[in-house]
Amino acid sequence: MATNVDADALTAEVLQSFSATPNERTKEILGSLTTHLHAFVRDIAPSIEEWEQAIDFLTRTGKTCTDVRQEFILLSDVLGVSMLVETINGQETPDATDSTVLGPFHMVESPVRALGDDASPESEGPRCVVSGRVVSIDGTPIPNAEIDIWQADTKGFYDVQQPGIQSIGNGRALLRSDSEGRFHFRSVVPMYYPIPTDGPVGELLDATDRHPYRPAHIHFLVTAPGYRELTTHIFIGGSEYIESDAVFAVKESLVKDFTENTDPGEAARYGVQTPFRHGRFDIVLHPGS
């Protein structure tokens, strides 16, 4: 075994320790991790106290995780890593609808609802309609696509955050596109909301003077046989925080105007009263699996 006389020799020795890793990808990842992590530590030259503080932060991040809370994913989100991974993978499907992060609130099954149903029957507030089509990259309609949607209410709360106030399933719907790929549902326009701040990630935001808010959005998870799964949201145009999402997940193509509609005929067609807000979202899936 070598004795390390300097930092460069130490990095080389650690890299060498992985040289017999049988899986090439594992070897590549550990090699890159070693190189970048050592460069980072050299760059910041932490004191022993700072190193212990970092270990304590990561330990508490792990201890904050439960069956229904994932503080490590939240850490990845606020550092922009989740969005970086999304973007790298999304580059394989440039013609399809842009993807964005899944987030932590897709934790219960959405109730099956018919096209046109209200996804937020327990939520108060003016109704909106969201409509669009699911199509392939060549424009071919995709019938019977599964469209799972979930959203916060007009005060910025998901059902799972308000036991006893909202029933599980409020703000959620599992829909199927019709024979021409069309879909529509009624709901309320969601409000912006803060990501959880009562754990280590909240401390990080506090220490860096960052706000915890996400702009108003509706999540979509769309699947159809023969097509790549799409995880995305639409953002409500004009929402506060659209320029400064705490998790960096806004893509311009996903910002949709929810225009006010006062046409009684249209309102009757969708089963809402005038005025209502109408968001349109065509979903383009990439063939593959």
Residues found near ligand BEZ in the complex (CB under 6 A): 74, 77, 101, 103-105, 195, 214, 247
How many binding residues for Fe ion (CB under 5 A)? 1
**Which of residues 103 and 181 has its CB atom nearest to ligand BEZ in the complex?**
103
Contact in structure between 182 and 116 (CB atoms under 8 Å):
no
Tokens of 127: 């109704």
User: Between residues 116 and 196, which has the closer beta carbon with respect to Fe ion?
Assistant: 196
Q: List all residues 6 or more positions away from 62 whose beta carbon is below 8 Å from its beta carbon.
A: 71, 72
Instruction: Identify which of residues 181 and 279 has a Cβ nearer to Fe ion in the complex.
Output: 279
> Judged by CB under 5 A, which stretch of 78-86, 101-109, 238-246, 274-282 contacts Fe ion?
101-109
Among ligand BEZ, Fe ion, none, residue 104 binds (CB under 5-8 Å by kind): ligand BEZ
Return the one option of ligand BEZ, Fe ion, none that residue 202 interacts with (CB less than 5 to 8 A, by type). none
Of 153, 119, 115, 117, the closest CA to residue 134 belongs to 115
Q: State the nearest-atom distance from the C-beta of 105 to ligand BEZ, in Å.
A: 4
Instruction: Residue count of the chain, please give it.
Output: 289
3-state secondary structure of 188: strand
Q: Which of residues 103 and 202 has its CB atom nearest to Fe ion in the complex? A: 103
Specify whether the CB–CB gap between 116 and 186 falls below 8 A: yes
Helix (H) or strand (E) holding 277: strand 276-280
| Interface with Fe ion in residues 34-93 (CB under 5 A) | none
**Quick one: 133 exposed, middle or buried, by C-beta within 10 A (0-12, 13-18, 19+)?**
buried
Smallest gap from residue 223 Cβ to ligand BEZ (A): 19
CA 12, 17, 19 angle in degrees (round to 5)?
95
Least distance in Å: CB of 219 to Fe ion? 6
CA distance 18 to 250: 38
Residue 181 binding Fe ion, by CB under 5 A: no
Q: Give min distance, CB of 171 to ligand BEZ, in A.
A: 11
Least distance to ligand BEZ, CB of residue 233, Å: 7
Asked whether 83 and 254 are in contact (CB, 8 A), the reply is no
Residue from 108, 129, 70 nearest 267 by CA: 129
Tell me which of Fe ion, ligand BEZ, none is bound by residue 74, counting a contact when its beta carbon lies within the kind-specific cut-off of 5 to 8 angstroms. ligand BEZ
103 sits near Fe ion (criterion: CB under 5 A): yes
Nearer to Fe ion by C-beta: 103 or 171?
Answer: 103
Positions in the binding site for Fe ion (CB under 5 A): 103
